[in-house]
Amino acid sequence: MTLKTLILSLTFTISTFAEKKPDIVIVIGDDHGVYHSSAYGSPEFHTPNMQFLADNGMKFNKAYIASPSCAPSRAALFTGLMPYNNGIVGNHEKKLKPGVKSLIPKFIQQGYDVVFAGKVAHMNEVAPYWVDDIQDLSGGTKPLGLNKVEKYLANKDKPVLLILGCKWPHRPWPNATTARIKPSEVKIPEKTFDTPETRSELTRYVEAVEGVDRTIGQTRDLIKKYLDPENTLLMYTADHGQAWPFGKWSLYEAGVRTPILVMWPKKIQKGVTSEAMVSWIDLIPTLVDIAGGETSKEIDGKSFRGILEGKDTEHRDKIFVTHKGDTNKNVYPCRSVRVGNFKYIYNLYPDLYYTTHMDLIKKKTAITNLNWASWVKAAQTNPEAAAFLRAYHSRPKEELYNLSTDLHEKVNLATNPEYKEKLSELRKLVKERMETVGDDKSLSAKPRYLKDFQLP
């Protein structure tokens, strides 16, 4: 071998090594709100693996989903399109708009294996996101088990996009008798009336969240054993907030802000907190970018790789979120926008009676909110409990919140004359957005009306 040939060979080898594509591993929680981990300031949750990601990577403080229920949230994730642009607006809807495609093939085009395990799509509704070359190691709907994942990793010969869908902390939560935390130790969510039954129920939720954290820990172990930890991007996120009043199925922060924790050694600095506003529609375009591919400028999502690598500090100047309903269980269309510190919510039909699975399912099944009866009973004699249920069942047409001083959205500024201009500005943004995407203001099922119910 001549000296010139040797130099060329070494140059090619070094270049190839330098350009080695990273493995990408995502763990997705189900119904896990941004407030519920030690990484986001709630030490009653023992979540050392989420904390590890925050300490050794980047934590996003202003990450939002596209819709606060499973099917539309995950459809937005995999298409990079907001609900009215991809066609899946309500929960359990399955049909994408003609021409809308999954972004997953972008990874396959870059030489990646794509492997799903656990609840990645919504229940049996996998068709909108599926492509033939995805390796499904769990049948799409089964609880997440890592045995098959480990077997795959032990024999893989390509870079991989591995998405692990954890069932926790979706209901049904673990039995209260198995919970680590005591009822006296839980923190009552904001705007929630405190009863012994409430505390007991929340111990179950804490246990479910800690189950997600254990899954992240098991995933970290697999990365150490089978992948190159220095060249693996590990992300944790969740599809929307907790199944609780003013959480999932609503557009309040507890329902629409999601944890995003990302660790990527040598690329992301340790212990960084980003205040950039990002959306779930941006996640896959970001990862496609990291994998070496490109996504169309025609989709709603856009890469925030620059944020991860410390080159940028801002991403979006506004965040839109949409909710339609889940068949007949929460028929309450609403739309929102966040700009800066202000959040506007437009409740399309304020004459409707707001309900969710929690108050509609009366059977004593594992999925039922077991403390609902305690709230109803307390409301008969306690004015605070009555006010809590009234706020849950009825909403004004417009809501405006200053999140810099009222993060838990307790003070509606929509009727405050001092905020008239801000209200008008954000109202205009939402209505223009609705016109742009062809928002039909439709209901997911026959609604219930306030006039037909007696509020506490």
The Cα–Cα gap between 107 and 66 comes to 22
Is residue 137 very low, low, confident or very high in pLDDT (cuts 50, 70, 90)?
Answer: confident
- CA contacts within 13 A on the Cβ side of 131: 17
Got the DSSP string for 92-118? Answer: T--PPPTT---STHHHHHTT-EEEEEE
What integer best gives the mean pLDDT of the chain?
91
pTM: 0.94
Q: Yes or no: say if 322 and 72 are a contact pair by the CB < 8 Å rule.
A: yes
The Cα–Cα gap between 250 and 291 comes to 34
Q: What is the pLDDT of residue 14?
A: 43
Cβ neighbours of residue 71 under 8 Å, at least 6 residues apart? 88, 90, 91, 92, 93, 94, 122, 123, 125
- CATH second-level architecture of 21-320? 3-Layer(aba) Sandwich (3.40)
Pairing of the two strands 260-263 and 232-238: antiparallel
Residue 204 has pLDDT above 90, yes or no: yes
The Cα–Cα gap between 251 and 259 comes to 16
The Cα–Cα gap between 102 and 428 comes to 31
Query: In the chain, where are the structural domains located?
Result: 21-320, 325-452
> What's the pLDDT tens digit per position in 361-396?
665 555 567 789 999 999 999 999 999 999 999 999
Helices 70-79, 283-291: inter-axial angle, 10-degree rounding:
30
